[in-house]
Structure 1
Amino acid sequence: MEDEDRPHALASGRKDAAASLSLESLEPYSIDELDTRVALLEAEIARVRAHKARSAANRLAAEALFRTSAPSAPSSSGATS
């Protein structure tokens, strides 16, 4: 894989496992090993997508919980109950 074809590090600059994998040469792997690697990476992609969906749902729930409605106008009669 040419350098320009490799995935780049996260925008945060943090090195993670995916960034480390992208630096590894694939030349020594057999076809079967590459198929296994692809299957593992696809499973990891599914895991990350599921976590992302749960995180988005949690965020929406938190936003709904803390969202306040517009304050109502005070009573014009001035009477209190």
Structure 2
Amino acid sequence: MSIFDDDRPKQPSAHEIGSDLSVLSVDELKNRVALLQGEISRLEQEIAAKTSGRKAAEGLFRF
């Protein structure tokens, strides 16, 4: 560990849309892609859960 490590800009732990990607290494970019793919999956699961709940409610209240 160098004494100059503190001078290096800190990378955010989460991805910010529109952030400067030129300062990231290939490994950091791959980690961000994995992070975003995980978040997309989580969002899709929530959409599916809400869609199925709505369909169940609609079926219950149909005459």
Would you call these one fold, judging by a TM-score over 0.5? yes
List per-residue Cα deviations over 1:13-68 (Å, max 9, x = no partner).
Answer: xxxxxxx8222111111000000000010000100001000010000001001111
- RMSD of aligned C-alpha atoms? 1.4
Q: Which has the higher contact order (CA 8 A, sep 6+)?
A: 2
By percentage of residues, which structure has more helix? 2
SS at match of 2:16: helix
Partner of 1:31: 26
Number of corresponding residues: 49
Q: Name the TM-score, length of structure 2 as normaliser.
A: 0.72
1:50 aligns with 2:35: no
Q: 2:56 aligns with which of 58, 61, 67?
A: 61
Give 3-state SS (helix, strand or coil) of 1:52's partner: helix
**Identical columns (%):** 43
Larger Rg: 1
